[in-house]
Amino acid sequence: MTEAVLYDAAGPRGRRRILIGSLAGGLLVVLVVGVAVARLAANGVFEAERWRVLTQGDLQRLLGRGLAATLRAALVAMVLAMAVGGLLAVARLSRGRWLAMPAGAWVELFRGLPLLLLILFLFLGLPAVGVTVSTFWALVAGLTLYNSAVIGEIFRAGILSLPKGQTEAAYSIGLRRGQSLRLILIPQAVRRMLPALISQAVTLLKDTSLGFVIAYAELLRTGRNAVEFLGGRYSIPVYVAIAVLYIAVNASLSFLARWLDGRTRRRLGRTVQPSVADEAA
Amino acid sequence: MDAVLDNLDTFRQGFITTLALTVVSTVLALVLGTLLAAMRVSPVPTLRAAGATYVEVVRNTPLTLVFFFAVFVLPQLDIRLSFFVFAVIAVTVYHAAFFCEAVRSGINAVGVGQAEAARSIGLTFTQSMRLVVLPQAFRTVVPPLINVVIALTKNTSIAAAFGVVELTAVATRLANANSDAVIAIFLGSAVCYLALTLPSGWLAGRLERRVAVAR
Amino acid sequence: MRIGRWMRLAGTVLVLTLAAAACGGDDEGGDGGQVNEGASFAEGTTMARLQQEGAVTIGTKFDQPLFGLKNLEGKPEGFDVEIGKLIAGELGIAEDKITWVESVSANREPFIQQDKVDFVVATYTINDKRKEVVDFAGPYYEAGQDIMVAKGNPEGIGGPDDLAGKKVCSVTGSTPAENIRTNYPDADLTEFDVYSKCAEALKNGQVQAVTTDNVILLGLISQDEESFELVGEPFTKEPYGIGVKKGDTEFRNFINDTLQKAYDDGRWLAAWDATAGKVAPEKPTPPTIDRY
């Protein structure tokens, strides 16, 4: 349903009302922001000396290293989660119960456990059974387990959303089930689900910050330690800088998602709904 | 396991705090999220822009940072509240963006004919939203909404770092005091979280099937 | 063929990913300190092994001002770090061969048990519960819990008994927080993950006091002398120990001997003066080593 169906195009009076409403609303926002800024300024939040800390080369390099560590963990986990997720989707769609059942259980279990605890278990539990695991790989493994469950469901939804004719056409030219999945269905499902996958990548990237619990030095933890070093009065500038970095990286990913969405829509002529609700974790 | 059994009462208190934080924040975030979704599909361009900006900024910020700004920047505005209330604000503000997107996708999924019919009998935008579109949208989005609720439940654990003694704070504290039983203690808290999230997930699955039949 | 392109793309991504994973890791290092080149140890001991390897891994805090705090270059500094370097030096290991690992409550004991660190120096209070899992050398310092309030002490807090009904801040699960919880249950305890947040909350008036070991409070005050002050006398004893693997008595004895040597020749005091001594008003006396 397009949004325009919800209301008539405004007439002259309606347009005037909207304009007045917008101006009044805008004024209210400006007023609230103004009061907030004035209060913050009165409390010394905007003192130049506090913000100058961000110009320090050392701090910039430190945050840069933190960002690199965040991106590294996110990238590796995303690739692995895609691979495992793909296998899970195929397994859940297979006709053999002995494949579909364990895959279903995998999804339910890893989707329901808090990621923080999952990371902790891998980090503390694996060595107990004789597998040594570094901080990096414990974090990546935790992110992979959780996101493979979510991504597997995205793939499955994508494959199920394809018209039945695709499978039938594949069978009719003599492809076996595995071949039709690999050659016909999965490539289409991936393209169709790209926006949802990229949204999940945003979530995954933010979730790397849970590495703090096992002391993985990603962006947020690095920044937090820098605040301990610099002193609490610099916490607001440092955290604002970190927020800007996260928003910049994630917004460019979201932008990519929208652009791909638009492209797919033009090419395929139909809407692809990213499953936004899955992103919150 | 003794470390868990000896501290069942502490666990219970943490569990109750997590539950309270989850329930209060879910209700508030759902209201705020629905409001934002309505803004994003409204005829007023400023409202649409405001809603979109909110979602874009909040969704791309890690929850820990949202917490930080709630707990340490709001007091700079001379807003003084308890840490529990700050936690509710942070969790609400963050998840409202996700509720908004879930509801909006639900609104987009309501049949075109429904809105057209509502308008053709003379309902205004507010009326058609309230009486026709939203009730149907909510039915479609119940499963994704529950997914957000599950995520919210798990995300309340961030409050542990910001002065709220909930499940994760309890687990951290007990783990520190009982170095011999770290795994058992975290296992205990995992069970508590699963007790909250698994029934929700099960409910989501059932509703999903029911909605599928209804269509 | 289309699938070929997809596979090639996937392959490229995989290779890049593995490359990204491989080239991680922070480089720690220093500029060399006092290194005991001629040390010799009995076969089969931890000391001999470390000397042979020429490298050591030490667990410490990365977020504890004055004791173990990562500076902006990414190197940890503080009293704990100096003690760590001192012990490494006695093993014939230079500063740049030390790998520092961040010690948090989730990894402290597991890392010792799994040999991921050779020892832990991390404002680690010796207590009986912990002794069941790890062994402690030292103590190398004895702190005491104290209270920090806003400048001018508007609430008139003179000691822990005055905390009843007041909001008191400390770090989740820390020994001082547990002490308040058990011995001063009337105090309204608020817990954060780091002390700087407690300091901010005190400054914002969200809590009325911050409590932890006196030296840590001194570190916070040194960062903002106009806002905070210390009240009263320390009301507990917190002996900081060095955690080693349970049962490695030879290594524990070696560390104890090293500490004693450092007490006697002034290196211990020099380490103090260079770090926590900058803000502590009086010089500490080395605590008696507990050779249990």
A-B Cβ pairs (cutoff 8 Å, strict)? 167
Pairing of strands C209-213, C167-171: parallel
Q: How many CB atoms lie within 10 A of CB A126?
A: 15
- Chain segment C169-209, per-residue pLDDT in tens: 998 878 889 899 899 999 999 988 888 889 989 988 889 99
Q: Chain A residue closest to C78 (CA)?
A: A229
Whether the CB-CB separation of A221 and A211 falls below 8 Å is answered with yes
Distance from CA of C136 to the nearest CA of B (A): 14
Residues of C in contact with A53 (CB under 8 A): none
Q: Please name the residue that has the structure tokens 């004789």.
A: A130
Question: When comparing pLDDT for B5 and C207, which is higher?
Answer: C207
Rounded Cα gap, residues A91 and A109, in angstroms: 16
The DSSP letter of residue C164 is: B
Query: Is the predicted pLDDT of residue A76 greater than 90, yes or no?
Result: yes
Q: Do A187 and C2 touch (CB under 8 A)?
A: yes
Domain positions in chain A are 55-280
Q: Do A275 and B144 touch (CB under 8 A)?
A: yes
What pLDDT score does C16 carry?
61
Whether the CB-CB separation of C139 and C287 falls below 8 Å is answered with yes
Residues of A in contact with C17 (CB under 8 A): 75-76, 79-80
Q: Do A75 and C17 touch (CB under 8 A)?
A: yes
Q: Please name the residue that has the structure tokens 């309902």.
A: B123
Q: Do A225 and C224 touch (CB under 8 A)?
A: no
Closest CA to C69 of C34, C100, C92: C100
Rounded Cα gap, residues A220 and A212, in angstroms: 8
Residues of B in contact with C172 (CB under 8 A): 160-161, 169, 172-173, 176
- One-letter amino acid at B44 equals V
Mean pLDDT of B161-190: 83
Helix (H) or strand (E) holding C242: strand C238-245
Q: Which of A111, A112, A242 sits opposite B65 (nearest CB)?
A: A242
**Buried b or exposed e, range A32-69, using 16+ CB within 10 angstroms:** eeeeeeeeeeebebeeeebbebeeeeebeebbebbbbb
Helix (H) or strand (E) holding C83: helix C79-90
Q: Which of C26, C72, C114 sits opposite A229 (nearest CB)?
A: C72
**What predicted TM-score, i.e. pTM, was given to this entire model?**
0.80
Q: Which of A22, A242, A251 sits opposite B46 (nearest CB)?
A: A22
**Residue A38: C-alpha distances to residues A32, B31, B74 (Å):** 10, 30, 13
Q: Chain A residue closest to B116 (CA)?
A: A5
Residues of B in contact with A124 (CB under 8 A): 182-183, 186
Rounded Cα gap, residues B63 and A236, in angstroms: 16
pLDDT band at B116; cut points 50, 70, 90: confident
Q: Do A65 and C63 touch (CB under 8 A)?
A: no
Determine contact: B162 vs chain C, CB below 8 A: yes
Mean pLDDT of A73-82: 94
Rounded Cα gap, residues C89 and C86, in angstroms: 5
The DSSP letter of residue C92 is: T
Work out the percent of chain B whose per-residue pLDDT is above 70: 96
Rounded Cα gap, residues C195 and B62, in angstroms: 21
Q: Which of C70, C114, C200 sits opposite A232 (nearest CB)?
A: C200
Give the rounded distance of the alpha carbon of B86 from its chain centre: 15
* Structural domains of chain B, count: 1
Q: Chain C residue closest to A43 (CA)?
A: C204
DSSP per-residue codes, B123-136: --HHHIIIIIIHHH
- One-letter amino acid at A93 equals L
Closest CA to C202 of C242, C170, C165, C234: C170
Rounded Cα gap, residues C60 and C28, in angstroms: 13
Q: Do C172 and B83 touch (CB under 8 A)?
A: no
Lowest mean pLDDT among A158-167, A258-267, B12-21: A258-267
CATH number of the domain where residue B65 is located: 1.10.3720.10
Closest CA to B152 of B91, B68, B66: B91
- Chain segment C109-158, per-residue pLDDT in tens: 888 888 889 999 998 889 888 898 899 998 999 989 999 999 999 888 98
Average pLDDT of chain C?
85
Instruction: Tell me the residue range of the domain where B173 lies.
Output: 2-214
Rounded Cα gap, residues C194 and C192, in angstroms: 6
Neighbours, chain A (3 or more CB pairs < 8 A): B, C
pLDDT band at A281; cut points 50, 70, 90: very low
Distance from CA of C27 to the nearest CA of B (A): 27
Q: Do A213 and C24 touch (CB under 8 A)?
A: no
What pLDDT score does B108 carry?
76
pLDDT band at A264; cut points 50, 70, 90: low
Q: Chain B residue closest to A232 (CA)?
A: B72
Can you read off the two tokens belonging to residue C113? 């048990």
Rounded Cα gap, residues A272 and C130, in angstroms: 56
Whether the CB-CB separation of C3 and A183 falls below 8 Å is answered with yes
Query: For helices A115-128 and B182-214, what crossing angle results, to 10°?
Result: 130
How far does chain A reach from its first CA to its final CA, in angstroms? 28
Whether the CB-CB separation of A8 and B123 falls below 8 Å is answered with no
Distance from CA of C133 to the nearest CA of B (A): 6
Residues of A in contact with C200 (CB under 8 A): 232, 235
Can you read off the two tokens belonging to residue A228? 């301990």
A-C Cβ pairs (cutoff 8 Å, strict)? 96
Q: Do B161 and C193 touch (CB under 8 A)?
A: yes
- Chain segment C90-120, per-residue pLDDT in tens: 998 999 999 999 887 667 888 888 888 999 9
Mean pLDDT of B66-94: 90
Query: Which CATH fold would you assign to the domain A55-280?
Result: MetI-like fold (1.10.3720)
Distance from CA of A193 to the nearest CA of B (A): 15
Rounded Cα gap, residues A41 and A47, in angstroms: 8
Distance from CA of C101 to the nearest CA of A (A): 9
Whether the CB-CB separation of C235 and C145 falls below 8 Å is answered with yes
- One-letter amino acid at B210 equals R
Q: Do A123 and C107 touch (CB under 8 A)?
A: yes
In SS3 terms, A170-191 reads as: HHHCCCCHHHHHHHHHHHHHHH
| CA atoms within 13 Å, Cβ hemisphere of C174 | 25
Mean pLDDT of A198-215: 86
Q: Domains in chain C, please, with CATH? A: 46-143+238-278 (3.40.190.10), 145-231 (3.40.190.10)
Q: Do C129 and B180 touch (CB under 8 A)?
A: yes
Whether the CB-CB separation of C272 and C283 falls below 8 Å is answered with yes
Rounded Cα gap, residues B70 and A145, in angstroms: 31
What pLDDT score does B137 carry?
78
